[in-house]
Structure 1
Amino acid sequence: MLALAAVTASAKIDSGSDGAPTKLNLSGSFEEQRVAIIKDLDGGKVYSEISAKERGDVKDALNRISGALQAPSGVQGLTEEQKTKVFNDQELVNAILTRAGEDSRLVCTREKVVGSHRPTTQCLTVAERRRMRESDQDTLRQKNRIILRGNN
């Protein structure tokens, strides 16, 4: 519960403008952080891999936290149950944004195309690379099943 008291304190916010994901920081001004997170969500670069459902979940949680903190006495005026709800919403937002930020990270590699000596740079997000790997594995499994059926 001590962490909730720090929500209203002002401090530096982790901004997504440099490509790093923004997430709720317990030592920062909540309203500034909420605006920065929504800007990053709507911008589509920092959280490019976040689903529409998760995007809505984050915005709903931010709105619930904002509503709870509108009381004139701030965090100190919240009941234990309200503090717990705010804390749980903070955890939800941080979990979704951390995972989405990691999946949206761009990774570039230099590869030589078959038949050429000239290397090319291929940049994909972590999630795109994972989807390609899973798709390739599924294709190999299907081909192996076809080959095994043909031998019987």
Structure 2
Amino acid sequence: MYKLLMLSALALAPLVASANIQSQGDAFSPEKGLDLSSSFEAQRTAIVTALGDGKTYAEISPDDRQRVTSSLNRISGLLGDVQSVNQLPAATKVEVFNEQELVNTLLTQAREDSRLVCTREKKVGSHRATNSCMTVAERRRAREETEQQLSKMRRVQMPAAN
């Protein structure tokens, strides 16, 4: 009975997944990235909203945020009133593609850095485990700071013994 239930659930999984993909329509998906084969303005609005929500791209730097915004503005200007990217001249297609890749690269890195990772840790001198949640970027900064402090401690020379 259990095997039959699992097999039927596995058989229905692709149908459920395709229904979710089709129901998203032209909305921007952080996993998929900016896709100019869909409605650009809908995706642009979704990206700007995600940049402002403080969660999806919490670790994006102000410079990268500005670069994403300016790239979206350039894409919008290059597309103009054209219905499809295929209607653009070849040189403009290349510019649009380069801007799209820049946006996707910056947003992918910021999204990965903004991912929250939680661990159970026991504080020194305590037997109680607590949850410690930090973003990937916060963990990287803490590790680099610790490495710098250890490096400074190694450089301090001990006084010569007589």
TM-score range, shorter chain: 0.7 to 0.9
| Residue of structure 2 aligned with 1:84, choices 94, 118, 133 | 94
**For residues 102 and 140 of structure 1, what CA distance do their matches in structure 2 show?**
27
Structure 1: which 5+ runs fail to align? Answer: 1-9
Shift of 1:82: 0.5
Q: Secondary structure at the match of 2:158?
A: helix
Residue aligning to 1:125: 135
Cross-structure match for 2:57: 47
Asked if structure 2 preserves the Cα contact closer than 8 Å seen for 1:104 and 1:125, the reply is yes
Are the equivalent residues in 2 in contact too, given 1:68–1:86 (CA < 8 A)? yes
Asked if structure 2 preserves the Cα contact closer than 8 Å seen for 1:21 and 1:47, the reply is no
1:43/1:11 Cα in 2 relative to 1: closer, same or farther (>3 Å)?
same
Alignment-mate amino acid for residue 44 of structure 1: G
Q: 1:139 to 1:103 in 2, by over 3 A?
A: same
Q: Deviations over 1:37-64 (max 9, x none)?
A: 0111112211111111110100111111
Q: Hey, what does 1:36 align to over in structure 2?
A: 46
Which residue of the partner structure matches residue 27 of structure 2? 13
Provide the C-alpha distance between the structure 2 equivalents of 1:25 and 1:75, rounded to a whole number of angstroms: 11
Root-mean-square deviation (CA, aligned residues, Å) is 2.0
Q: Distance in 1 between matches of 2:48 and 2:32?
A: 9
Moved more, 70-79 or 125-134: 70-79
CA shift for structure 1 position 25: 2.6
Counterpart amino acid of residue 107 in structure 2? L
CA apart distance, 1:72? 4.1
User: Is 1:145 the counterpart of 2:159 in the alignment?
Assistant: no
Deviations 1:39-95 (A, max 9, x none): 111122111111111101001111111112223454233111110000000000000
Structure number with greater Rg is 2
- Count residues in correspondence: 137
1:137 is displaced (CA, Å) by: 0.5
3-state SS of 1:49 partner: coil
Structure 1 residue 21: deviation in Å?
Answer: 5.8
Q: Is 1:105–1:125's contact at 8 Å kept on the other side of the alignment?
A: yes
Aligned residue runs from structure 1 range 52-67, under 5 A: 52-67=62-77
Paired residue type of 1:13: A
Runs of 4+ in 1 over 2 A off after TM superposition: 10-15, 20-23, 25-28, 71-77
Question: TM-score, normalized by length of structure 1?
Answer: 0.82
CA distance in 2, matches of 1:43, 1:73: 30
Q: Distance in 1 between matches of 2:55 and 2:123?
A: 28
Question: Which of 124, 140, 150 is residue 114 of structure 1 equivalent to?
Answer: 124
